[in-house]
Amino acid sequence: MKTKAPVSKNERLDVTIADLTYQGMGVAKVDDFPLFIENALPGEEITIQVTKVQSHYGFARAISWQTESADRVKDVDKTYRQTGIAPLQHLAYPAQLAFKQHQIKELFSKAHQDVDVAETLGMANPTQYRNKAQVPVRMIKGQLETGFYRQHSHELIPLTDFYIQDPAIDDAIVKVRDLLRQFEIPAYNEISDKGVIRNIMVRRGYYSHEMMIVLISRQQKLPSQDQLVDQIHKALPEVTSIVLNVNAKKTNVIMGNVTRTLYGKPTIEDTLMGLTFAISARSFYQVNPQQTEKLYQMAIDKAGLTGTETVIDAYCGIGTISLALAKHAKQVYGVDIVPEAIEDAKVNAQKNHLTNVDFFVDKAEDQMIQWQASGIKPDVVVVDPPRKGLAETLIASTAKMGPKKVVYVSCNPATLVRDVARFQELGYEIDGPIQPVDQFPQTPHVESVTVLVKK
């Protein structure tokens, strides 16, 4: 028998916020029925209006506050919440760090695992940290605008200050926007499938200050292309690379497969952990280099390398972790599914004069099976998977190879908990506290490093 929800749409209620969800929304319970409320913090007493009711939960909006949390930040720009750029900006930074630590602890505890989770490693300045921007471009009232979409919609909110991005990148986006307007190059319209510019991407080296501008276009050649490129590099002296990426498909995927260099070189360089990396338009490179150094240093320290070990780095990308490990290991093997990333990784190995590392293009889980079959015996396996976590076959082949340690760099605590349980079934156990690192301040995302050792 279906039980009726204890609340109905448009009903007004007085509630106390009990907790935050992993997306940073406040949770209030009415007869054990959870309501999710944006911009609400634990401990706050609020009058809410119910906006949506499902069978097991509902959504509501805050109307007025009777009491406010001591952790509430007052001067916030609601645009950053509406666009999802900074959904936690209303929560004081020390409380954000505690929330991220609690998030990991809570997920393990729901899985009946009592684990030790260290305090989250934060930043001195938890704003202006992103070294890469991908912003949509749209025509609004006949004028080309750059900004960000309102959450769950395709309505563009024009923005010039993105709050969590390097200010030099914000400035570059405005200058490129103004030049596109000057040359009357129209923005892409996804409904009519007409227009030219879909997105602007900017990357800037945190240490090198080299800048790359990527214009993502529906056409193979831009109107007034040569003049535009000339003016961009005059307006932005840091620019060492201007790239055209062509995406002619009717899709919400940002980049297409064709990339052409219009000015300078196809990559910019930056340093990380004292190593030099070439970064191309399509390569994955961590967006918060200051925290990435802490994260990777933590992974290397926990791997406990002495120079005699064989190490596998699954999901190696352009080789950031692999090359940092190679300085401390005898031999490193890296694998990634993106061919361009592996090309970059090989170039980066040469750049850094590291010859004890080999890179392969494949799905990590398939390559692990091949390595296992060919008798490779790693001492340490490092995994840094995407949000969906590890494939079961990868966990199985890792366990069969029997490394003494698995160092798991995670960007999603939910899949981390699931994967740790699978490793435990195959004879591994958590060693020491899990270390959260705040790679994405002002958002609910949290990275962490977990060490698993063979029993």
Active site residue 316: no
One of 35, 62, 411, 452 is an active-site residue; which one?
Answer: 411
Average pLDDT, the chain: 95
Q: Taking a C-beta distance cutoff of 8 angstroms, is the pair 270, 289 a contact?
A: yes
pLDDT at 138 over 90: yes
The CA distance from 7 to 59, in Å, is 10
pTM: 0.92
Band (pLDDT 50/70/90 cuts) for residue 81 is: confident
The CA distance from 451 to 360, in Å, is 25
The CATH T-level fold of domain 132-266 is OB fold (Dihydrolipoamide Acetyltransferase, E2P) (2.40.50)
Q: Could you report the per-residue pLDDT of 297-345, keeping only the tens digit for each?
A: 999 999 999 999 999 999 999 999 999 999 999 999 999 998 988 999 9
C-beta neighbour count of 139 within 10 angstroms: 15
Q: 12-70, which class in CATH?
A: mainly beta
Q: Could you report the per-residue pLDDT of 104-132, keeping only the tens digit for each?
A: 999 999 999 999 999 999 999 999 999 99
The CA distance from 62 to 412, in Å, is 28
Q: Could you report the per-residue pLDDT of 211-228, keeping only the tens digit for each?
A: 999 999 999 999 999 999
Band (pLDDT 50/70/90 cuts) for residue 2 is: low
DSSP letters, 220-289, are: SS-TTHHHHHHHHHHH-TTEEEEEEEE--SSSS-S--SEEEEEEE-SEEEEEETTEEEEEETT----S-H
In the numeric block, the tokens 């409904």 are attached to 191
Q: Could you report the per-residue pLDDT of 418-435, keeping only the tens digit for each?
A: 999 999 999 999 999 999
pLDDT at 1 over 70: no
The CA distance from 56 to 398, in Å, is 39
Q: Where in the chain is the domain with CATH 2.40.50.140?
A: 12-70
What is the homologous superfamily of the domain 288-454 according to CATH? Vaccinia Virus protein VP39 (3.40.50.150)
The CA distance from 157 to 426, in Å, is 49
